[in-house]
Structure 1
Amino acid sequence: MRIVVIGGTGLIGSQVVARLGEHGHDAVPASPSSGVDTLTGDGVKEVLDGADVLVDVSNSPSFADADVLHFFRTATANLVDAARSAGVGHYVALSVVGADRLPDSGYLRAKVAQEELITASGLKHTIVRATQFFEFAGAIADTATENGVVRLSGGGVQPIAAADVAAVVARTAASAPVDGVLEIGGPEAFGLDEWVRTVLAARSDPREVVTDPGARYFGTLLGRDSLRPGAGAELAPTDLDTWLAR
């Protein structure tokens, strides 16, 4: 199959392209560096010509509320229009577990807007909602650092390795659409503070992680299960210790 991967040069996309190629698919990485800009629409119709599957693992360059909403609404509308014209048979998009439960987060509101556009498009689709990636612990700490101290809540998370996310997205792209949502998460549950504290300690990062129930995560307060997958979710094999050891 010809499978176009939007965001195909990024952390997840590059691994998706590699996995699909290993299984004999014609996997095409598409990004602004290859002349495909979903925000302006440049190159989108051309790259989707003859595609069987569209995979969207792209992300907004800015997480400011207005910017991220504009990105996902505009980019997704452009992809939907081009996918319809090209007769794409399966639209696979990567989203976030808990996005629909946390409307105070501008980023997660934008992901819900993306999901709604795809669902309403009439295209056969699968939305893969993943939990936070192990690889993002450092960036989360950076956004929560004040005067050298990291302030995070103990809200529940179930982080996952990026390689495991890529494996599921690639497998989904090569499978029949479910016309719904597939949730995936890591095998272990943590508090957000506990997870980040563990990663920073393993990296010999001297910052103290202070538990602050009022600390917001991308604009929203977290509960015990806010970012954890529900019953029936697929749990990935890689645990935190194994990922850290790599």
Structure 2
Amino acid sequence: MRAVRRLARALPTYALAAGYGLLLTLPLLSLLSASLRSEGDLFAPGLLPPRPTLEAYREVLEYPLGRYLLNSLLVSALITLGVLGSSLLAAYALVRLRFPGREALFGLAILLLLLPGEVTFLPRYLLVDWLGWLDTYQALAVPFLASSLGVFLLRQHLRTIPEDYFDAARIDGAGHGQILRHVVLPFSAPALGALGALSFLGAWNMYLWPLVVTRSREMQTIQIGLKYITEEEVAKWNVVAPGPS
């Protein structure tokens, strides 16, 4: 009886959670339903398609979606690794090393953090053009391999690591590389994971920069590819629905 009473008390919570989950998945279910419909059945009422068909998937596969996905994955992975590596090294230097101008460098990082991306867009493009990198992976990834936000976040995190761990490592004769590997990295895993997720999502969702620095279809990312599909198949939402996002 006690278990039944506990279940009865928890039932409203489960019902609310199930309803909320349904609301979250309803747009995805609508896209799935639209992708399985023909153009004539697209606006037929109901969530279930009246005459399911895979014709929309055949049409969307005529676009080089695999190449777009590969470009986005490669560029996002490169940017994420670059941001994690450069931010960790810069944050460690700002926290653990003593050198003239250290606080001024951190102030510069904060200043860059306050600048909107539109301010640096044109200088970055001119630099990439001068280097001859247009329509290459270098143009897509290199300008974003460092992040002032990453430096700020990791610097603040490294300052929370107890000094005793660094003292113990120095007593054992550890250098900066060993301290980074055996002290900083284990304690910084949650911060690095959060920064990596932010960097990957930001790189994956970039649209304007890849649109400007790429020329050929082979170098364009998935966001531009989806834009092509929506423009060319503007009246065929059943074809747009299967496209990855």
| TM-score of the two chains, using structure 1 as the length reference | 0.22
Q: Which has the higher strand share?
A: 1
| TM-score of the two chains, using structure 2 as the length reference | 0.22
Q: Which has the higher helix share?
A: 2
User: Which structure is higher in RCO with an 8 Å CA cutoff and minimum separation 6?
Assistant: 2
* Higher CA-based Rg: 2
